[in-house]
Amino acid sequence: MTAPTHDPLTLSLSVNGETHDVRVPARKLLSDVLRDDLGLTGTHVGCEHGVCGACTVLIDGRPARACLTFAAQMEGHEVTTVEAMGRPDALSALQQALHEEHGLQCGFCTPGIVVTFEHYLRENPDPTAEEVRDVLSGNLCRCTGYQNIVAAVLKAAARMRGEAA
């Protein structure tokens, strides 16, 4: 039995289409590496036990909690964060709808919601309100009561389908 080694690992991470080399301990959470080592602070840390959903990122295109993932696990995988999904001056359809429908207040949970639904709407372009609420149940929001978030997702979905909304 070999003794544990706690020396930092050198990792090559592919995030938002770019490759980054970082040296971090094996135990460092993906959420912390994205934020501290790569400066991608849009991924928020809200609970560190997988409940709140604020840290949701895409791993190989599918939503995942960055706080339940170690950066070391991400070599060979593609990570996508909210930073890749629009800019303040070029919002995505979903972000624009969240703005118009007042689907955010403090904004701390919002990146996790954006990441989840950017993925979900690609696979499910025409969801019902009930389906949106089901998916949204994985992202806690303390400010809005969710009603406007649901409306925003439905509006974005309609626009992404090319319908006027």
Partner 1 sequence: MSGDFTEIGRALPRKEDRRLVSGRGRYLDDLAFPGALHVSFVRSPHAHARILDIDSAEAAEMPGVVGIFTGRDLDQMTTRLRLAPPIEGLQPTELTTLPIEKVRFHGDPVVCVVATDRYLAEDAAECVTVEYDQLPAVTSITEAFAPDAALVDDSLTSNMVSHQSLCVGDPAARRAEAHRVVEARFSLHRHTHVPLETRGCVADWDDGRAHLNMHIGNQVPHPLRSQLAARLGLSESQVTVMSPDVGGAFGQKIALYREELTVAALSRHLRRPVRWREDRMENLMSAAHAREYECRTRTSVSETGRILGLELEIDEDFGGYCFYPANYMARVIALIMTGPYRIQDYAYEVRVALTNKCGAGPMRAPMAITSWVMEGTIDAIARDLDLDPVEVRRINALGPEDLPYKMPTGELLEDVSPRETLEIAVDAIDVAAFRARQAQARAKGRYLGLGLCTVIESTTYGSEFYKSAGIPGSGHESAWVRIEPSGAVNASVGLMGTGQGYESPLSQAVAEGLGVRSEDVTVHMGNTNIAPYGMGSRGGRGATAGGGTLYLCALKARERVLAIAASMLDLNDAGGLRMRAGQIERMIGEDWQETGLALTDIARRAYLDPLALPEGITPGLDFSHSYDPPAMTYSNSTHACEVEVDPQTGAITIDRYLVAEDSGTVLNPIVVRGQQQGAIAMGLSGALLEQVIYDGTGQNLSATLADYLVASPNELPEFEILHHNTPNRRTPAGIKGMAEGGVMGAIGVLANAVSDALAPRGVTIERLPLTPQSIRALLREAAPSSTKRTQP
Partner 2 sequence: MKPAPFTYHRPASLAEALALLRTHGPAAKPIAGGQSLGPMLNMRLARPGHLVDLNDLIELDRVRVKDDMLEIGALTRHHRLANAPEVQRSLPLLGAAAASIGHYAIRQRGTIGGSLAHADPAAQLPLIAVTLGATLVISGPAGTREVAAADFLQSIMTVDLRDGELITALRFPLPVGDLWAFEAFSRRHGDFALVSVALSFARDAEGKIDALRLGLGGVDTVPLRLPEIEARAQGRLVDVDTIRDLAAAAAAAIAPEDSEQVPAVYRRELAETLVIRAFQSALTREEGA
Residues 6+ apart with CB under 8 A from 4: none
DSSP code string of 68-113: GSBGGGGTTSEEE-GGGS-BTTB--HHHHHHHHTT--SS-SSHHHH
H-helix or E-strand spanning residue 122: helix 110-123
- Judged by beta carbon, residue 70 or residue 104, the one nearer partner 2 is 70
Tallying the residues shown for the chain, one arrives at 165
* Residue the block writes with tokens 């950017």: 118
150 binds partner 1 (CB under 8 A): yes
Residues found near partner 2 in the complex (CB under 8 A)? 1-6, 9, 25-27, 29, 32, 48-50, 53, 56, 59, 62-65, 67-70, 72-73, 75-76, 116, 120, 133-135, 137-138
- Candidates 72, 91, 158, 165: give the one binding partner 1 (CB under 8 A): 91
Stretch that binds partner 1, among 13-21, 68-76, 78-86, 118-126 (CB under 8 A): 78-86
Pull the structure tokens for residue 132.
């949106």
| Contacts with partner 1, residue ranges (CB under 8 A) | 25, 27-28, 35, 39-49, 51-52, 54, 81-83, 85-89, 91, 95, 98-100, 102, 104-111, 114, 133-134, 136-137, 140-150
